[in-house]
Amino acid sequence: MDLPSSYYTFQKSLDQFIYFSPLTMGGSSGRSVKISKALFLPFFCAVDPSAHDGQAIIRQIENLRTTCTIARGETGSNYTNNPKQSSQHTTRLGKLNDGFSQVLIVKNLHVYYRVSQELGDKSPSIYITQVRAVNDGAGSSPGLYEPKISRDGAITPIKMNQSSIDGKKVYINGASQSVEGAMQQAQYATSDKNTVLFYSPACVSDDLGVWQSKTLSYATKNTINELVNVFKESQNRSVSWYVEGEGTALLSEALKRIPGNLNKHQFRFVNPIGNTSKVLQILTTKKAVLEGDFFSYHHNTAALSSLSKQKNELMSAMGKLPAGKNYDKITRGYIMKSIEGLALVGSRGVPKQDKLNSANQTFVQVLRKAGVYR
Amino acid sequence: MKYPGNIIGPCFETGDLVTFIFDGAEFTVRLPIVPNNKHNQDTVTCNRDFRGIDTRDWDINNQERPCIQLATQRWSFEDANSLDNVALCKLYLSVVEVTPAARKKNILLEVKTFKEIMLNWIAYATEDHEEQYLKDSNWPASANRFHEKVIEKEHLNWLRYELCYLEGTMPRPFAVAPINSRFVMMTRIEIDSLHYAGRQNPYSKELLRKFEFELFDDFLSHFDLRYSPETIAIIQSLKS
């Protein structure tokens, strides 16, 4: 994604900015607020306009129209063939200008913006140039948890011993605020109340999810190590893995560090987010079991966009899997058809951004319409 | 109830009234309206009438007694200034069936036996935490009856305890109330501090723990448990 990180690139991409919502089109309602069309996909994944948190984020961004920051006169602005726009100069200037970007932090979203008056603006406007999601979590430690029925019948996740997962279903969660929430997802995804959970904290989704941080936090490294240890301890045991959402990216990181084969381990993916094709390739080389209905999807925006981005690679990786037996051949055919269908749906929902135009619709209006693909 | 600091979120005063009917009793609670959010949960059992109910297909608790979750809710409290989610709240409300023998003896409807059977049930699953009590005599354990607090009611008192579910965590509020000779209601609320990477939660763990207990008492204050004249007659006869 080519986002305007410096003033030079920002100016070059001005045609990519559209009004954020009908309330932020300038005039008597305050400053106009514009957002880069390239941010449609990350925004679509992080903000659900039908949810309470999504509404709070949209209202706060709309409130940026009351920002009273004075626009700076940018060097080189409105000039063509400016001698000061040599690549060396613009790089240095870009670094300097980055420091002037401002950030609005609301809920799970960091919204980076600058106040600038550009060609066609009647007054200084807000330009949203980048967004980043940061998940919230209750701070539970990563690792294996088993469900324990308490005195009132509710299921309480209890930290467990690594060696006791032989013959069990183990679920790796995606983005989850709490262990209880992840345990509930585990039981739903596997239809089994005894499923063991490998809990991956919310910060792992920040680092490895659709936003993919370049540097991994200590907590993420710790979670990867925990998962590697679980694999090493249970390498010769029979384990059935269910991997959901960002858990796929976590598994991908862990697999890089596991020597030898995983021929006693079976894998199933639910709404995978991350480089699924790469994971399938590694699992194939490690002789892991990918049988039956090993891929499923249930209304997950981020997974849908992730799939549509890597459809061809995924189909190619599926083609390289060892030949299936009996019903596996039929099931695999269905899986490939469903991936193709999902990628098509995803690609329909996603590139609406190309048709985004301030003249007809605002960013939020298209976001709401794209909600049917959630 | 006024929430501490700038905490905002669902409240019981404006919650939905939900009534469950049992043989000889009617139990009404106020369940808060949980906002639609990705991590939230708002589950209330479809069945509201438990008169003469067959419990063979119910879940079982840790003592293999049939039980059902009447409501399970999970939501986040926010800070009004930053709109950050600052605390995760989990609410559990369930009923558990006693053994046929205990039902026959009406032990839930007799003050003394109710207290003893509840203490035994709680102690059954908390043996692991007795070690903590040896280090700290203030830690809730069988020896101090898990900080039992009697909630005075017209016919039968309810009991509130402090229980620890996981090692390394602080005790949480837990309450029981006798519904009839067959079922006992159990409820608890848990509040956990929420954090975003790079942001500090303005509310300390101590403040949130205090809030947890206050919120639980507020939740209990909205309970309405009414016995039929027949049940009241049994309770009175057992008192004498």
**List of chain A residues whose C-beta atoms are within 8 Å of the C-beta of residue B38:** 48, 51, 53
State the sign of the Cα–Cα–Cα–Cα dihedral A68, A69, A75, A81. negative
Which chain A residues have a beta carbon less than 8 Å from that of B36?
Answer: 50-52
Per DSSP, the three-state class of B153 is coil
What mean pLDDT do residues B205-211 have? 96
A260, A263, A332, A235: which is closest to A291 by C-alpha? A332
Residue A180: list chain B partners with CB under 8 A.
74, 90
Given an 8 Å threshold on Cβ–Cβ distance, is A156 in contact with B165?
A: yes
CA nearest neighbour of A19 among A101, A139, A170, A125: A125
Q: Which of B184, B178, B123 is nearest to B148 (CA)?
A: B123
Strands (DSSP E) found in B66-140: 66-79, 85-97
Cβ(A25)–Cβ(A65) below 8 Å: no
**Which of A50, A136, A197, A246 is the best mutation test for B, with the most CBs of B within 10 A?**
A136
Residues B65-96 have pLDDT tens digits of 999 999 999 999 999 999 999 999 999 999 99
Any CB–CB contact under 8 A between B85 and chain A? Answer: yes
pLDDT band at B197 (very low <50, low <70, confident <90, very high): confident
Q: Does B128 touch chain A (CB under 8 A)?
A: no
Interface test with B, best of A55, A152, A173, A199 (most B CBs within 10 A): A152
Nearest-Cα residue of chain A relative to residue B183: A152
State which residues of chain A have pLDDT below 50.
1-2, 71-79, 351, 353-354
To which residue do tokens 């060396």 refer?
A88
Contacting residues of B for A139, CB less than 8 Å apart = 192-193, 195
Predicted local distance difference test score (pLDDT) of residue A164: 78
Rounded Cα distance, B141 and B132, in Å? 9
Subunit contact B61:A206, Cβ cutoff 8 A:
no
CB contact B37 to A (< 8 Å): yes
CA distance to partner chain B, nearest, from residue A247 (Å): 17
> What distance in Å separates the CA atoms of residue B194 and residue B39, rounded to the nearest whole number?
12
Distance from CA of B240 to the nearest CA of A (A): 31
Instruction: Tell me the C-alpha distance between A70 and A131, whole Å.
Output: 22
Q: Which of A38-42, B62-66, B198-202 has the lowest mean pLDDT?
A: A38-42
The amino acid occupying position B154 is E
Cross-chain Cβ contact A137/B61 below 8 Å? no
Three-state DSSP at A157 gives strand
Residues 6+ apart with CB under 8 A from A22: A362, A364, A365
**Per-residue confidence (pLDDT) for residue A77, from 0 to 100:** 45
The three-class DSSP label of residue B104 is helix
> pLDDT grade, residue B134 (50/70/90)?
confident
Dist. CA A286–CA A257, nearest whole Å: 12
Across the A/B interface, how many CB contacts are shorter than 8 Å?
105
Kindly state whether B83 is in contact with chain A, defined as any CB-CB distance less than 8 angstroms. yes
Cα angle, residue A143 at apex, residues A137 and A148 outer, rounded to 5°: 90
The average pLDDT across B133-156 equals: 89
Quote the crossing angle between the two packed helices A311-319 and A276-285, to the nearest 10°: 20
CA-to-CA dists, residue A77 to A34, A74, A87, A98, B95, angstroms: 18, 5, 15, 16, 70
**Which of the two residues, A100 and B34, has the higher pLDDT score?**
B34
Residues of chain B in contact with residue A60, where contact means CB-CB under 8 angstroms, are: 83
Phi, psi of A17, rounded to the nearest 5 degrees: -90, 135
Q: Residue B211 in contact with residue B2, Cβ under 8 Å?
A: no
At B216 the pLDDT is 97
Nearest CA to A64 among A40, A108, A31? Answer: A31
**Residue of chain A nearest B97, judged by CA positions:** A152
Yes or no: say if A206 and A232 are a contact pair by the CB < 8 Å rule.
no
Angle in degrees, CA A144, A146, A149, rounded to 5: 160
**Average pLDDT over chain B, rounded to whole?**
92
Tokens of B76: 């986040």
Edge-to-edge strands of the sheet including B224-227?
B16-22, B25-31, B224-227
Q: Does A88 touch chain B (CB under 8 A)?
A: no
Cβ(A281)–Cβ(A317) below 8 Å: yes
**Which of A107, A136, A152 lies at the smallest CB-CB distance from B67?**
A152
A 140-179 residues with CB below 8 A of B? Answer: 148-154, 156, 158-159, 176-178
Complex ipTM, two decimals? 0.86
| % of chain B residues with pLDDT over 90 | 80
CA distances in angstroms from A159 to A142, A223, A263, listed in the order given: 9, 14, 26
- B39 at interface of A, judged by CB pairs closer than 8 A: yes
Question: A110 — contact with chain B (CB < 8 Å)?
Answer: no
Cβ neighbours of residue A266 under 8 Å, at least 6 residues apart?
A: A239, A240, A241, A288, A289, A290, A291, A294
The predicted pLDDT at position A145 comes to 93
Judge contact between A192 and A155, C-beta under 8 A. no
Round to whole Å and give the CA distance between B54 and B110: 24
Chain B contact set for A53 (CB, 8 A): 37-38, 85
Considering all CA atoms of chain B, what is the largest pairwise distance in Å, rounded to the nearest integer?
63
Q: Look at residue A136 and give its three-state secondary structure.
A: strand
Of all residues in chain A, the one with the smallest CA distance to B38 is A51
The answer to whether the Cβ–Cβ distance between B194 and A177 falls below 8 Å is yes
Give me A7's structure tokens.
């003033």
> Global pTM?
0.84
Q: Cβ distance A182 to A199 under 8 Å?
A: yes
CA distances from A24 to A27, A42, A113 (A): 9, 20, 14
Q: Which of residues 189-218 of B touch A (CB under 8 A)?
A: 192-199
Asked if B207 and B5 touch (Cβ cutoff 8 Å), the reply is yes
Which residues on chain B are in Cβ contact (under 8 Å) with A182?
none
Using a CB–CB cutoff of 8 Å, tell me whether A52 touches chain B.
Answer: yes
SS3 sequence of B179-224: CCCCEEEEEEEEEEECEECCCCCCCCHHHHHHHHHHHHHHHHHCCE
- pLDDT score, position B123: 85
Per the CB < 8 Å rule, is A178 touching B39?
Answer: yes
> What mean pLDDT comes out for the span B155-174?
88
**In the beta sheet, which residues pair with residue A148?**
A156
Cβ–Cβ under 8 Å, residues A252 and A274? yes
Mutate which of B166, B204, B205, B208 to disrupt the A interface (most A C-beta within 10 Å)? B166
